[in-house]
Structure 1
């Protein structure tokens, strides 16, 4: 079975901390949006990458 096919009870066997929101958090879109590693696809990571790219472009085209 895939993760989204499991029931909440299956998750809670491993930890009682799992709640209904687990199904929202394991969606592909959520995983991609929330990836906050260096070069990741999360909102904060993308903002940092854009800021760094703008600085590089300003330096490249300022002379």
Structure 2
């Protein structure tokens, strides 16, 4: 066995998986196009969203919020 077992022979499963991958790529591209459109059309909103995303990523990665006195 090469690790894939019976699934390697299942053509329907292979085709469904390739469809899934195609759809994921399409969704990613559409998502990227939406982001680019927002950046061009509403730069202030895009910057605000970007700042929030960066902040969330920093918190998620274990950085603590800096205290302001």
TM-score by length of structure 2 reads 0.35
Larger helix share, 1 or 2: 2
TM-score by length of structure 1 reads 0.37
